[in-house]
Amino acid sequence: MDGGAQQPVRGAPVRVQGVSKSFGALRVVHDVSLEVGAGEFVSLLGPSGSGKTTLLMAIAGFEGVDSGRISIGNRDVTDVPANRRDVALVFQKYALFPHMTVAENIAFPLRMRRIDRRDIATRVESALAMVRLDGYGARMPGQLSGGQQQRVALARAIVFNPPVLLMDEPLGALDKKLRQHMQLEIKRLQARLGATVIYVTHDQEEALAMSDRIAVLRDGRLEQVGTPAALYDRPTNAFVADFIGDTNLLPVTVLEARREECAVRLGAATVRATAGADSIRVGSAALLAIRPERLSVRAGDDGTVNGEVRAHVYLGAGTSLLIATRAGHELTARLPAGASLAGLQVGAQVALDWQAGDTVVLPPLDAPS
């Protein structure tokens, strides 16, 4: 992102209140409420079929809602047509007009708004500069790479200075390296424009890297909303813990439950951990969530959990160890690049330990949290 003084916030807040949407007998969005602050970058994250695109299309005005209200700024837009909501939408497929030049594509929304022709030329040049495509105005979309076409789509979206920018998996068609580069470009643009961004993705790493907050959806329901760090370190249910990054989920029995801390039985051991949900009760079955990088692994048999190394997986930035515990569970531990693997060869007996603050006790999958 650009350095220097912070840019002014020009975005508008977006409020979704109790929105539901069905297609025939299939309910795809269930009573979702979400508030996005002015100038905030919020990602809608979830697997295919979670309702994230339908919710985005409802905010854009391309899908009506069965119940609930949507407001942008101080205006209720629930029944306002898409072309009067003053939002911009960027699609995964670019949606550029193949018979128009780059400049003509970018100018299209300005022409629809009947902006003066001289002003259009100035705005188009400015938008091209923002996406670092100076001098590309006369080219046709077919002469551009996928990344360049996506930049043109971005330029067309921002050329009329929309207060809200909606993005539906805009980087899904790009290779990993280009996608990571475009993530930085989008964040740079958003910081410069001060726009509110609502961004749909199924890519957890992308959401963690780009978002101020993330809204996790599953089967049309909002599971958890929070900062990337909050969702990663303090998920409130096993679905979020498992979907956001890699995690180990171990079955435990709750021995003691307080507001923020509890004790659980894990195999023959009693361990302390953070309580991840209000529904954690003494005597109940639960899951202990531990991130692979938070596990300490050493040769020996005197750890909180003991087991045998079954496999090594080289990841470039580190190495993952697959470990079978004596209680019959499988764990993944991750060591950083350069860490010694002495005593941790396949077949070695190892001891595993962790800090109580690095674990979270959660209800079983599909249990209410």
Domain spans, the chain: 14-233, 246-294+355-369, 296-353
Indicate whether 232 pLDDT > 60.
Answer: yes
- The residue assigned the tokens 């629930």 is 78
Task: Determine the pLDDT at residue 8.
Answer: 56
Task: Determine the pLDDT at residue 2.
Answer: 44
Task: Determine the pLDDT at residue 367.
Answer: 58
Indicate whether 6 pLDDT > 50.
Answer: no
CA distance 260 to 270: 17
Indicate whether 368 pLDDT > 60.
Answer: no
| Of 310, 298, 299, 286, the residue nearest 359 (C-alpha) | 286
- CATH class of residue range 296-353: mainly beta
Indicate whether 86 pLDDT > 80.
Answer: yes
| Of 204, 201, 101, 115, the residue nearest 155 (C-alpha) | 101
Distant-in-sequence, close-in-space partners of 337: CB < 8 Å, separation ≥ 6: 316, 317, 318, 319
User: Which pair of tokens denotes residue 146?
Assistant: 């996928």
Strand partners, 233: none
Percent of the chain scored above 70 by pLDDT?
Answer: 97
CA distance 318 to 320: 7
Let me know if 237 is exposed, middle or buried by CB neighbors in 10 A (0-12, 13-18, 19+). Answer: buried
Which range has the worst mean pLDDT, 179-193, 235-249, 317-331?
A: 179-193
Task: Determine the pLDDT at residue 312.
Answer: 95
Which range has the worst mean pLDDT, 31-35, 305-309, 362-366?
A: 362-366
Mean pLDDT of 151-166: 92
CATH fold match for the domains 14-233 and 246-294+355-369:
no
Mean pLDDT of 95-99: 91
How confident is the prediction for the chain on average, in pLDDT?
91
Alpha helices in 76-200 (DSSP H): 102-112, 117-130, 146-158, 176-193
Whether 317 and 269 have beta carbons less than 8 Å apart is answered as no
Q: pLDDT tier at 289 (50, 70, 90 boundaries)?
A: very high
Q: What is the pTM of this model?
A: 0.90
Indicate whether 29 pLDDT > 90.
Answer: yes
- The b-or-e profile of 138-155 (16+ CB within 10 A means b, else e) is eeebeebeebbbbbbbbb
CA distance 304 to 299: 13
Task: Determine the pLDDT at residue 239.
Answer: 95
Phi first, then psi: what are they for 58, rounded to 5°?
Answer: -70, -40
Whether 276 and 235 have beta carbons less than 8 Å apart is answered as yes
CA distance 298 to 291: 17
- CATH class of residue range 14-233: alpha beta
User: Which pair of tokens denotes residue 221?
Assistant: 């329901």
Neighbouring CB atoms inside 10 A of 247's CB total 21
Task: Determine the pLDDT at residue 269.
Answer: 87
CA distance 213 to 226: 5
Task: Determine the pLDDT at residue 299.
Answer: 95
Phi first, then psi: what are they for 208, rounded to 5°?
Answer: -65, -40
Phi first, then psi: what are they for 248, rounded to 5°?
Answer: -100, 130
Mean pLDDT of 164-185: 88
Residues 246-294+355-369, CATH architecture: Beta Barrel (2.40)
Task: Determine the pLDDT at residue 3.
Answer: 42
